[in-house]
Structure 1
Amino acid sequence: MKSADELAVDELMDRYFDGLYHSDSTVLRTVFHPALAYVNATAGNHEFMDIDAYMTRIDNREPPAVRGEKRNESVDRVTLTGRQMGLVEARMTMMGRDYQDLLTLIHTDDGWKVITKVFAYQEKG
C-alpha cells in the first residue's frame, strides 16, 4: 500500500504529464516550485531557464493534444528521502522526441513540488 506522500507524488506526476500534453502553464505552475531550475542536458543543446521563461515557452507552443499525438509516458522510479525531498525518473514521447526527465522534488507547505527539471531527449528516427 502506498503512503500518502507516494500518492501525492503520483497525483503530481499526473498533473505534470497532463500539463505538458496540453501545454497548460496554469496546470504546470501547480507542479513546479516558483524557484524552478530547468536544465536541458541534451548534448549540443544545453539550456537553462527559470519558471517564467519555461512557462512562456509552454504557452507559445502547439500542444501535442491539439496535434492528436498519442500519449506515451511513464514514471520509471520514485525515491522519497523522508518527507523533505525526492527524485522522480520519468520518460515521455512528444513532439517527435523521446524525453528522459530527472525531477527533484521538495516538500513545501503546499505539498510536493518539482524544484529542478533536468532532462535530455533524442529525436525519433
Structure 2
Amino acid sequence: MSSAFVELQPVISDYFDALYHCDTELLQKVFHPKAVYATADDPPLLHRTMDEYVPVVAARQSPASRGEVRTDTIEEIQLAGDNTAFARVRCSIGQSDFVDFLTFVRTDGRWQIMSKIFQIIPRQTGSA
C-alpha cells in the first residue's frame, strides 16, 4: 500500500470524528483554510468557505451527543500524484446519509481536504 494511502486514512478518520463530535478544532485541522464546501441538492447551489462552514458545525447538536450509530465508510481513495488525491466516503448525521467527494492536497508534507462536494440521501424509515 502506498504511503499516501496510509497517510490519508487517519485524515479521513479525523474528518469523520470532527463531524460526529462537531469538533470544529479538528475540522479546521483536516480542512485547508481555503477549502470549498458545496452541494447542489436543494437549488440554489450551496457554497461555503471554511469561515462560513465552521460556525454551522459549531451550532449543531453533535451526533455523538444523541448517541447516533456511526456509519463511516471510505469507499474509494484515488491518487492523482504525490500531492493530490480524491476520496469517496459515506457517513450519517440525523436522518440523512451523505456521500462526500473529498479532494485532498498535500502541502508542507500534510494532507488536507481542499473541497467537499456532497449528496444528501434521506434515510428511509420503515418499509412498505
Answer yes or no: is 1:25 the counterpart of 2:24: yes
Answer yes or no: is 1:79 the counterpart of 2:78: yes
* CA displacement at 1:3 relative to structure 2: 2.4
Structure 1: runs of 5+ lacking an equivalent: none
Instruction: Report the identity percentage.
Output: 29
Instruction: Provide runs of 4+ in structure 1 moved above 2 Å.
Output: 43-46
* Map of 1:101 onto structure 2: 100
* Map of 2:51 onto structure 1: 52
TM-score of the superposed pair, with normalisation by structure 1: 0.94
* Map of 1:91 onto structure 2: 90
Structure 2: runs of 5+ lacking an equivalent: none
* CA displacement at 1:81 relative to structure 2: 1.5
Aligned counterparts of 2:99 and 2:44: Cα–Cα separation in 1: 15
Aligned counterparts of 1:48 and 1:94: Cα–Cα separation in 2: 19
* CA displacement at 1:73 relative to structure 2: 1.1
- The alignment partner of 1:62 has SS state of coil
- The alignment partner of 2:119 has SS state of strand
- The alignment partner of 2:32 has SS state of strand
* Map of 1:3 onto structure 2: 2
- Higher Cα radius of gyration: 2
Quickly say closer, same or farther: Cα 1:62–1:45, change in 2 above 3 A: farther
Answer yes or no: is 1:65 the counterpart of 2:64: yes
Deviations along 1:17-73, whole A, 9 cap, x unmatched?
A: 000000001001110000010001214463100001100000000000000000011
- The alignment partner of 1:72 has SS state of coil
- The alignment partner of 1:88 has SS state of strand
Aligned counterparts of 1:118 and 1:73: Cα–Cα separation in 2: 16
Q: Letter of the aligned partner of 2:117 in structure 1?
A: V
Aligned counterparts of 2:109 and 2:19: Cα–Cα separation in 1: 21
* Map of 1:41 onto structure 2: 40
- The alignment partner of 1:21 has SS state of helix
